[in-house]
Each structure stands twice: as C-alpha cells, then as structure tokens.
Copies of this chain bind each other. A is one copy, B any other.
C-alpha cells in the first residue's frame, strides 16, 4: 500500500486540493523535519507536546525519560496524533483575506506501543539522533545499560495519515490585481548557525566535519 485510505479522520477538509495521501509525500515531510508535536488526551483534556522523532518504515519513534507523562500515557496504547510542520514562506496577497502561508505539514494517527527489546531500542534511538543530525550517533559515547533502562522509546505505527501543502504565489480576487499593493512571498528559512563549543571543551578537540557544513550545502 503506497497510499492511506481517505477517511473522516485524515481527510483534508479545508482546501481539499492541498491534501495528499500518498506515503511518498507524507514520509518526505516526516523525514525533512526533526521536531514533531504529539497530541494525546488525559482525563478528557488534550495535550500537545513538542518532541524529537524519526520515521522508520511505517512507524514514528519518539523517546524520553521513563518518568515522562507523555510517554507513560502513550505506553497505555491511547490514540495519538503526530504533526510535523515545515514553514516555507509567508504569502502576502493584496487583500488581507487572501494572506496565507506556504507550508508542508504531515498529520499522522496511530496508537503507541513501548519498544522493549534493547536492540530495537538502540536502533530507534540512533534513528532519532540521525534524523536530528547525521553522523553524530557514531561520534558519541554509546548508551549504557542503565541509561537504556531509564529511557522509554515509543513506536507509533502509522495507522492513518495525510499531508497538506501550499506553495507558490498568492491568489487574489481578479479585481484586486489592479491595486497598487506589493504582493508575493516572504520565504522562511531554518538554518543551523556556527557550532558553539562547550565552555568545558578540552583543548585540542577540533570541530568534526559533519558540524562544519551540517546542511551539506
């Protein structure tokens, strides 16, 4: 299956032509991001918490301390919604009404389950680390058994999902194109800055190659 079935849950209601249901589109957004917002319910109240993640095959993995309220709740197998939003630009139309945002968002639904096998846990932790910054995992001191024990990893198999994408020029009402108002797109760019050494960094430890040009540009 390369496409998620459209249901009441994942259907893009507002501006349906911006909705996408194929895995290629949805997973490319998940793979470009590294921070998601996880939604879940406790006592009838919704919570939205930012957290790092990685997609591996048809699952999203998140991790954290075993005392985390979010992870304890997801470990109960409740429904969760994982959303990743990449902002590309502010869309400046001539009318206030047609202002918009260029963005790519992926919304994923599923029920969490705790990863118990140590090997699978390590592999998920490495995937999250690599999704944030490639090459760092192999360059860091690996987790001890105790560190693994106090870390919870939750797998959320993607049960349903959709993406929503807006790109390109503003769309104004026909009559408004004559107005003497500047219109266009203000791009939004997220970039890494220059790495800042730890104040306790030992002398003689140079910046690794993967940090010199972290976006590969």
- Please name the residue on chain B nearest to A15 by beta carbon: B65
In the complex, the answer to whether B201 meets A184 with C-beta atoms within 8 Å is yes
Contacts of A201 in B (CB 8 A): 182-184
In the complex, the answer to whether A193 meets B188 with C-beta atoms within 8 Å is yes
Number of interface residues of A (CB under 8 A): 92
CA distance A41 to B40 in the complex (A): 9
Q: State the number of copies, please.
A: 2
CA distance A182 to B212 in the complex (A): 12
Minimum Cβ distance to chain B for residue A107 (Å): 7
Minimum Cβ distance to chain B for residue A101 (Å): 7
The one of B90, B107, B144 in contact with A132, judged by C-beta atoms closer than 8 angstroms, is B90
Interface set, chain A 141-193, CB cutoff 8 A to B: 141-144, 147, 151, 169-170, 176-193
Say whether, besides A182-B197, A184-B195, A194-B187, A136 and B92 are in contact (CB < 8 Å).
Answer: yes
Contacts of A80 in B (CB 8 A): 46
Minimum Cβ distance to chain B for residue A52 (Å): 7
Known: A184-B198, A188-B191, A191-B191. 18 other contacts (CB 8 A): A13-B68, A14-B65, A35-B87, A47-B107, A48-B48, A48-B81, A48-B83, A90-B133, A92-B133, A95-B140, A95-B143, A96-B142, A184-B195, A184-B201, A186-B192, A186-B211, A187-B196, A189-B191
| A interface residues, Cβ below 8 angstroms from B | 9, 13-14, 35, 37-41, 44-50, 52, 64-65, 67-69, 79-83, 85, 87, 89-90, 92-97, 99, 101, 103, 105, 107, 109, 125, 129, 132-133, 136-137, 139-144, 147, 151, 169-170, 176-202, 205-208, 211, 214
